[in-house]
Structure 1
Amino acid sequence: MSEDKHDALWNPREAQADEELRRLQTQLAPFGLRARGRGEWTPRAIAREQRRRWPRFVAAALAASLLLVALNSYRLAWQDGAAWRVHGDAGASGVAQLRSGDWLQTGADQSFDIDVARIGRVTLSPGSRLQLVETRRAHHRVRLDSGHMRARIWAPPGYFGVDSDSAEVVDLGCDFDIWKAGDGSGRVYVRSGWIEYRVARRDVLLPAGYELRFDDSHPAAPLRPDASPEFAAAVLSLQQQLDERHERAALSANAERIANLARQVDVYTLLYLLSQRPALADSALYPRLAQALGVRADDAAHRAAWAQGDIAAINRWWDAYPSQPKRWWSNWPDILR
């Protein structure tokens, strides 16, 4: 762009002769760099300004970090036995409270949202019955007698759980649903994160995208809700064969059927079966799981170690699974849903 020598913006002499510009300069002078002791914006002046700002940035970042730590500590803290807030709709007006030992029953056209201390929320669907069993810092437990509930929790593993007569669903920082019938049977589905299903001496980890069906004695193998009936039936048959200690030939035939029917998204079902029964590493499940995880299937030493139940060998492939239960903090968007 060429400069017009008669333009006061480009010609200092013309600027001094322009009365309107002199008036604007006088009014803006208090806000200039010299008036604030900053001098001209030379490279050296800019460097000095950056050095002045750096300690302020560090102090601000430190203050923000301390504030986040304080807010999180407040969010996780909870007085023993303090009541939970209950928000009602569909005919239930106002806000109620739920205390330890209290039961909450929803009618056919009612649902409730329950604040789980400060760490999340439970939605109780119509026709459901729930009890607040215990609430204190780092330990909050409810009992679902029947019906359906959805829990959205953002807290370290173990802070929240759902008890039943013989089992417990432990939140590992996630969003999950539980359906339960009066006879104790039901299912749990994980929307994000992980849960742990504990029954007797048996623990089952369940990741996002999978469901686990259970009765009053034991859980079934984790499956995706959209698993084919043939695949689900083969998995159930294999579990029954393992419980009844069938011959290796029958186990191998069923394992091969599962491997042939498995889709890529069924990877966790394969990982669960091989982890629960390491001896199945001698079957077709091992190479199929390797393919699903994208790891080597021709490592004879690893396969032999897995078949012997070597924890290090099993954990190598567990670590290859896309998500991990220890990363609960990464599921913070759940609290916004």
Structure 2
Amino acid sequence: MRPVKQRWSFFSLRWSYQLGAVAGIVLLATAVFVLRSSPPGNDGPSWDVVRLEGTPRVGWHSVGEKSGLGKLRIGQTLVTDSYSRATITLDETGRVEVDAGSRLRLVANGPGRKRLSLERGTIHATIWAPPGEFVVDTPSAVAVDLGCVYTLQVDDSGAGVLRTTMGWVGFKLNGHESFIPAGAICQTRPKIGPGTPYFEEATASFKGALSKFDFASITPVERTALLGIVLADARKSDALTLWHLLSRVSEADRPGVYDRLAALAPPPADVTRDGILRLDRPMLDAWWSSFGFGDIYLWRTYERDWSQRPPNAK
């Protein structure tokens, strides 16, 4: 009987180890599931998420007809597939409609700063927060609301397009900045940042030359030739574009840009040709503010806060 008792003890011990291992695996899987299912940043404020079509998701949770109102908290990502759309709303900030095929993450939600990151897709933002409080990172630029309504698109390569419907938006990356007033559009590319803004009703040749000037790999001679097309086709409202070009052209090309801009929109009395040619910042700002697109003081006031590189910039 003693050998049988020893075999039984051996098998009991073996089963005990196996059961313990299984229990450990179950506990580990449960912990992982709970951690993945628990929304991060529960202690902070959240945006309300409402389904418009399909089944948008926040993390692992679906926002559908039966699931009711969703919540987007710091660190979470709202994902819409090709059949889904949603809106997110924060009472003191604004409303953002998220189109199909989008990924939108909430980065910050503190007092005076609401920050989203659009990894891909399209959003339509209607913002009533004070200027400078609502910021959207993209892979190639940071969009800063200055009291506006706008649409922002990002494709899978990280390239983006911003269209402003009301007010104006600041677009910036690594010291490269563009201002987009109502009716204007601005493209952006990874590693380059925002291009030169222009009004959508500009001529096709104007827009085509400007796009190549901003983003194509071309020689200085070719850039000067493209600039010539832009200057020749410029209308009075294209002062928006020419003002931006002052700081983007070569020193040799700058006098031609100044002369064409001055003919379309004469500078204020305290703005001189010499000052503009040496890119005197107060004079450039004064000339911009005379266009009626928006007071550049708003941008300069908060510029240091907005100059941070977007977390996902390439």
TM-score for both structures, normalised by structure 2: 0.68
Gaps of 5+ in 1: 1-78, 329-337
Match of 1:82 in 2: 45
On the 8 A contact 2:184/2:199 being kept in 1, the answer is yes
User: Secondary structure of 2:272's match?
Assistant: helix
Instruction: Looking at secondary structure, tell me which structure has more helix per residue.
Output: 1
Out of 130, 152, 156, the residue aligned to residue 156 of structure 1 is 130
- Residues 43-73 of structure 1, C-alpha deviation per residue, up to 9 Å, x if partnerless? xxxxxxxxxxxxxxxxxxxxxxxxxxxxxxx
Match of 1:56 in 2: none
Equivalences for 1:133-212 in 2 at 5 Å?
133-165=107-139, 167-212=141-186
- Residues 71-95 of structure 1, C-alpha deviation per residue, up to 9 Å, x if partnerless? xxxxxxxx97211111212243231
Instruction: Looking at secondary structure, tell me which structure has more strand per residue.
Output: 2
Between 116-125 and 144-153, the greater mean CA deviation after superposition: 116-125
Q: Quick one: which amino acid aligns to residue 81 of structure 1?
A: G
Equivalences for 1:32-181 in 2 at 5 Å?
81-91=44-54, 92-93=64-65, 94-165=68-139, 167-181=141-155
Match of 1:314 in 2: 284
Match of 2:273 in 1: 303
Distance (Å, rounded) in 2 between the aligned partners of 1:261 and 1:326: 26
| 1:177 Cα deviation after fit | 0.8
Larger Rg: 1
Gaps of 5+ in 2: 1-41, 55-63, 299-314
Match of 1:267 in 2: 239
Match of 1:9 in 2: none
Q: Quote the RMSD (CA, aligned, Å).
A: 2.9
On the 8 A contact 1:119/1:153 being kept in 2, the answer is yes
**How many pairs are equivalent?**
244
Distance 1:163 1:240, change over 3 A: closer
| 1:196 Cα deviation after fit | 1.4
Match of 1:282 in 2: 255
Q: Quick one: which amino acid aligns to residue 187 of structure 1?
A: V
Between 269-278 and 258-267, the greater mean CA deviation after superposition: 269-278
On the 8 A contact 1:80/1:136 being kept in 2, the answer is no
Distance 1:123 1:313, change over 3 A: same
On the 8 A contact 1:194/1:325 being kept in 2, the answer is no
Distance 1:307 1:244, change over 3 A: farther
| 1:237 Cα deviation after fit | 4.2
Distance (Å, rounded) in 1 between the aligned partners of 2:282 and 2:227: 23
Q: Quick one: which amino acid aligns to residue 116 of structure 2?
A: V
Distance 1:150 1:307, change over 3 A: same
Distance (Å, rounded) in 2 between the aligned partners of 1:83 and 1:240: 38
Match of 1:223 in 2: 198
User: Secondary structure of 1:156's match?
Assistant: coil
On the 8 A contact 2:140/2:159 being kept in 1, the answer is no
On the 8 A contact 1:275/1:314 being kept in 2, the answer is no
Match of 2:38 in 1: none
User: Secondary structure of 2:294's match?
Assistant: coil
On the 8 A contact 1:123/1:150 being kept in 2, the answer is yes
User: Secondary structure of 2:246's match?
Assistant: helix
TM-score for both structures, normalised by structure 1: 0.64
